[in-house]
Amino acid sequence: MGQLFSSTPKDEDHGDLESSFTEYFKNYKEESKIISKETVRLIELHLKKGNIQGANSAISDALKNIDTVPINVAVTGESGAGKSSFINALRGVKDEEEDAAETGVTETTMAITPYKHPKIKTLTLWDLPGIGTMKFPPKDYLEKVEFKKYDFFVIVSTTRFTKYEVDLAKAIRLMKKNYYFVRTKVDSDLENEKKCKPRTFDREKTLNQIRSSYLHILRDNGISEPQVFLISNHDSSDYDFPVLVDSLFKELPAQKRHNFMLSVPNITEAAIQRKYDSAKQFVWLEAMKDGVLSTVPIVGILKDSDVEKLEASLSHYRVLFGVDDESLEFMAKDAQVPVEQLKKNLKSPYLLQTKNEETLGGKLLKYLEKFASANGGLLATGLYFRKSFYLQFHFLDIVTEDAKVLLREAYSKI
């Protein structure tokens, strides 16, 4: 066990490193990669030339950029359209929580108000005054709200998009930014329709009618290829909310996708899987930088510092995937069940618990043997990572499955 995965790259292995790196990133679609094509090509070029230090530097720069690059989302629209509730839904925060965006039936945002994501500090959602309340022409409005700093605009409505919002969308497009039309409170529309037509009510037909009416109005007003997302701020797993999040994620620059995806609440299994894929790419790049590309031989044992980092990593993953103790307490309170009932089908809360004379280091080495057996001893042909990274992948697998278990349980109670 002491020498499992131990190896030091030789000069003739550089070609294997390049091909392994290339093959790994082929597993991900272009819109899902967390590093750009240019960065991938640069790393491949360095590896091809045997420039290990250059590849190491390129990966370090990419990881630093991912960790620090700001993501700014602008949310605007008519008075009372549900902008603040939409911001809270994207942040995974309930309207009545302490740091929630203020909600109300009247226009509560008369000034530009930033809201940091509670878990992803590089992500800020900006609650902008509705353009109709500002009484500025679109160009002046965009200058007033400093449009250049936003990655994209979400234009929210609850009844119909006015001339103000349509003109604003055109101005945003002229300034080469993306915008998304979001129609909130469709759950209320469906409920009213069902009350009015209890015998003939058809959910999908009603949603299609709402969507078609909006698309027709937008086309008539010069928006050539409009997209309208129908959502409920109080049920982010239903309607078009998951599709909207998908669209936002895919159209972001590569280096911003990772943190944006990690910020998304666990609204569907697909969202959890995408969060997992993003986190796995990040850990894989860290492993490349600190393992394969290191000139120091890979150590055959787990040091105390490795164990501490692994404890921190597991805690971090549990928070990001919403299976940490605090999140479980909130879920248990909402579901009105004991927290232990939620935990009974989960594995991650107990991963680092030891019994009797067992040491944490010894337990981790057993996990490592199990991981090695399940994965053929290597994550990818020709790559030899430090043991701590294999365990990080193991933790990611367990935490991701726990998040899916909780989601399935939530669905089963609906």
How do residues 98-140 score in pLDDT, each as one tens digit? Answer: 666 666 544 544 688 999 999 999 999 999 988 777 677 888 8
pLDDT in the model for residue 361: 82
Identify the residue with better confidence: 376 or 289: 289
Q: What is the separation of C-alpha 150 from the centre of its chain, rounded to a whole number of angstroms?
A: 18
Domain ranges in the chain are 11-61+268-412, 69-261
pLDDT value at 410 more than 70: yes
pLDDT value at 336 more than 70: yes
E-assigned strands of 307-394? none
Strand partners, 178: 152
Confidence band of 13 (pLDDT split at 50, 70, 90) = low
Identify the residue with better confidence: 356 or 399: 399
Confidence band of 381 (pLDDT split at 50, 70, 90) = very low
Contacts of 317 (CB under 8 A, 6+ apart): 279, 348, 395, 396, 399
Encode pLDDT of 383-403 as tens digits: 567 778 888 989 999 999 999
Confidence band of 409 (pLDDT split at 50, 70, 90) = confident
135-to-131, 140, 164, 179 alpha-carbon distances in Å: 6, 10, 9, 20
Instruction: Write down the architecture of domain 69-261 according to CATH.
Output: 3-Layer(aba) Sandwich (3.40)
Report the pLDDT averaged over residues 179-201: 89
pLDDT value at 246 more than 50: yes
**Do residues 382 and 17 lie in contact, with contact meaning Cβ atoms separated by under 8 Å?**
yes
pLDDT in the model for residue 271: 92
Q: Kind of pairing, strands 113-116 and 178-183?
A: unpaired
Encode pLDDT of 299-325 as tens digits: 456 777 888 889 999 999 999 999 999
Q: How far apart are CA 213 and CA 379, in angstroms?
A: 51
pLDDT in the model for residue 189: 85
pLDDT value at 295 more than 50: no
Confidence band of 7 (pLDDT split at 50, 70, 90) = very low
Give the global pTM.
Answer: 0.85
pLDDT in the model for residue 333: 85
- Report residue 250 as tokens: 């895919």
pLDDT value at 296 more than 80: no
Helices (H) and strands (E) in the chain, counts: 17, 6
pLDDT in the model for residue 360: 85
Q: How far apart are CA 57 and CA 102, in angstroms?
A: 44
Confidence band of 272 (pLDDT split at 50, 70, 90) = very high
Q: Which of 42-51, 213-222, 278-287, 365-374 has the lowest mean pLDDT?
A: 365-374
Report the pLDDT averaged over residues 216-244: 88
- Report residue 321 as tokens: 């995937």
**Do residues 382 and 16 lie in contact, with contact meaning Cβ atoms separated by under 8 Å?**
yes
pLDDT in the model for residue 97: 64
pLDDT value at 293 more than 60: no
In the chain, % of residues over pLDDT 90: 35
pLDDT value at 182 more than 90: yes
Task: Supply the DSSP string of 229-286, one letter for each residue.
Answer: EE--TT-TTSTTHHHHHHHHHHHS-HHHHHHHHHHS---SHHHHHHHHHHHHHHHHHH
**CA-based nearest residue to 394, from 266, 325, 297, 302:** 302
Q: What is the mean pLDDT of the chain?
A: 83
pLDDT in the model for residue 292: 59
Q: How far apart are CA 141 and CA 278, in angstroms?
A: 36
Q: Kind of pairing, strands 123-127 and 152-157?
A: unpaired
Phi, psi of 74, deg, nearest 5: -100, 130
pLDDT in the model for residue 411: 67
Contacts of 103 (CB under 8 A, 6+ apart): 82, 84, 85, 88, 95
